[in-house]
Structure 1
Amino acid sequence: MDLIDFPSLSRGDLRDIRVTIDGGFREFTRAYGEPLEKMFHPIQTLLTFIEDLLIDTPWILVMAAMALIVWGLSRSWKIVLGTVIALYLIGLFGMWEDTMRTIAMVAVCTLIAIVVGIPIGILMARSDRANAIITPILDMMQTMPSFVYLIPVVMIFGLGKVPGVIAVVIYAIPPIIRLTNLGIRQVPKDVLEAADAFGSSAMQKLKDVQLPLALPTIMAGVNQTIMMSLAMVVVASMIGVRGLGQPVLQAINNQYFTLGVMNGLAIVAIAIIFDRSTQAYGKRLQKHLEAVHG
């Protein structure tokens, strides 16, 4: 064999391997597709409920509710004013319904990411073995092209909301897992030793010491998860997820510059609102903890 030629499988062998794997996955989808769809049906129900609530409620009430939520997180009138102006302009240019669908999608995906991601992050922080196993998986999830996530979920669930939610969560969940792990590991050892001296159990130490002190870092993870969810909106529109991503995809396909820019700016506006609100909340938590433990 020539040393310059890299050893590789023949085309026939590669084709056989691909056919075997693809066939096995198709058999899996036929056997378990329907049970999996039933298992994820509550997610579709929740997403549909939030969408309908945001779209059917008068816009002035939705805007007021969002302004109150932003105020509760940020305690900043500047951010609240920016939120109201951005939402008003979104409605003025006819993008209100798509924006509400996008906010509902991001809210559900972020909720799922928090519910699933924080326990995994806690597990990684408490077990070096789990950390060593899960970290390469997270690396793969963050580096895999986002379009690849769409292939298996579409094969199992078809087009619609559920595959979109699953694809977005897979893409967006790594930051909250990583930063939960990091935040708990960064809790000072002397604080943990003091908790041990008071006879705290492992669960008490986690609930009363580690999680509160790690909360600002965890909030940074929530912030990044929201940003990545919004970044995935346009990709998810390729499998039937309605929202601001679909007009952007339509603009790409038909070369509608204005349509693409307007909906892209709406996504940017929502991203800035979420980003500033969660960042401000994280800073408030940090100052509060420094005052308590300072």
Structure 2
Amino acid sequence: MVMLCMIKLAPLPLAKWVDALVAWLAKFAGFFNFITNIIAGINNAIQWLFDLLPIPVFIVVIPLLTWLVTRKSGLHWQLFAFEILGLLLIWNLGYWRDMTQTIALVLTASIIALVLGIPLGIWMAKSNLVEAIVKPVLDFMQTMPAFVYLIPAVAFFGIGTVPGVISALIFAMPPVVRMTNLGIREVPADLIEAAEAYGSTSWQKLIKVQLPLARKSLMAGVNQTMMLALSMVVTASMIGAMGLGEKVYFAVGRNDAGSGFTAGLAIVIVAIILDRITQSANQKDG
């Protein structure tokens, strides 16, 4: 036993293995360029839509869309007043373009996360084996420090908007996967049996029974995904992601407390609006 304790084990060359893997993956430049074009296209389309609307129209449209989404949730008028005043403040502070860039990045990362995450969560709910395999991966994605995601994003996608979306996507996708899986698994077994007794196919059970009953859990996952995407998009300003995070990052570098506070306040306003809309949509009809 003493001899074993005296033996000094050589450290595993884990860092070298990771570097070798990154170098090998970098050979597939065509694939990463294809992914870059898709993500940039989605983000540019969203940004184009934001730029198309005059600012006063945008300020009116956001509360209107909020009302359409949350009209049955008993939402109070305070949220509409907060949205209008908050957006007017961001416009007054000169951060409007930065705000729309941030929202475009968040929406791009969230849309891709939902497109990938919801089917994966459904697959997990249908298979215990898949759940056993995917859960440790989700644990890894959620516990890895956010800054670490910036390194491979830059290695594969360079500097700019796309690596920011990629890092936000990886960081923000686990909640919607977990909550989709949880919501479907919590559907009462007797309802599933009743659907089967009436001759429902697996697809019909999923669309007409499981997903509607799992809506609250799924929307909670959507809410958390958007909030995590926003936080990561701000962090991704370190690798060239545009928006309000860039203003905060530059303010830190210049030790400019005033600019940092105002840009941070704009981020808070955006976060509250996104959070309240998704939370109210979760309470809709419920």
Same fold, judged at TM 0.5 (above): yes
Deviation of 1:232 (Å) = 0.9
- Say whether residues 1:262 and 2:259 are aligned partners: no
Alignment match, 1:290? none
Alignment match, 2:207? 207
Quote the Cα distance in structure 1 between the aligned partners of 2:6 and 2:36.
48
- Say whether residues 1:74 and 2:74 are aligned partners: no
| 8 Å Cα contact 1:33/1:157 also seen in 2 | no
| 8 Å Cα contact 2:36/2:157 also seen in 1 | no
Quote the Cα distance in structure 1 between the aligned partners of 2:133 and 2:16.
29
Percent of paired sites with the same residue: 43
Quote the Cα distance in structure 2 between the aligned partners of 1:139 and 1:99.
31
Alignment match, 1:134? 134
Alignment match, 2:56? 60
Q: Tell me the matched-pair count.
A: 281
Quote the Cα distance in structure 2 between the aligned partners of 1:246 and 1:150.
15
**1:186-218 Cα deviation digits (max 9, x unpaired):** 111111111111111111111110001101110
Quote the Cα distance in structure 1 between the aligned partners of 2:7 and 2:231.
39
Deviation of 1:45 (Å) = 1.3
User: Equivalent of 1:35, from 31, 35, 57?
Assistant: 31
Alignment match, 2:274? 274
- Say whether residues 1:26 and 2:27 are aligned partners: no
**1:140-174 Cα deviation digits (max 9, x unpaired):** 00000111111112111111111111100000000
Show structure 2 runs of 5+ residues with no match: none
Alignment match, 2:245? 245
> Under a length normalisation based on structure 1, what TM-score does the superposition of the two structures give?
0.91
Amino acid at match of 2:69: L
Deviation of 1:68 (Å) = 1.4
Deviation of 1:253 (Å) = 1.2
Amino acid at match of 1:67: P
**1:244-280 Cα deviation digits (max 9, x unpaired):** 0001111111111111111111111111111111111
Mark the CA change 1:69 to 1:22 in structure 2 (over 3 Å): closer, same or farther.
same
> Under a length normalisation based on structure 2, what TM-score does the superposition of the two structures give?
0.93
Alpha-carbon RMSD across the aligned residues, in angstroms, is 1.7
Deviation of 1:61 (Å) = 1.4
Deviation of 1:54 (Å) = 1.2
Quote the Cα distance in structure 2 between the aligned partners of 1:184 and 1:73.
23
Amino acid at match of 1:74: T
Relative contact order: is structure 1 or structure 2 higher (C-alpha 8 Å, sep ≥ 6)? 2
Quote the Cα distance in structure 2 between the aligned partners of 1:69 and 1:90.
19
Deviation of 1:112 (Å) = 0.7
Quote the Cα distance in structure 2 between the aligned partners of 1:23 and 1:4.
32
| 8 Å Cα contact 2:165/2:233 also seen in 1 | no
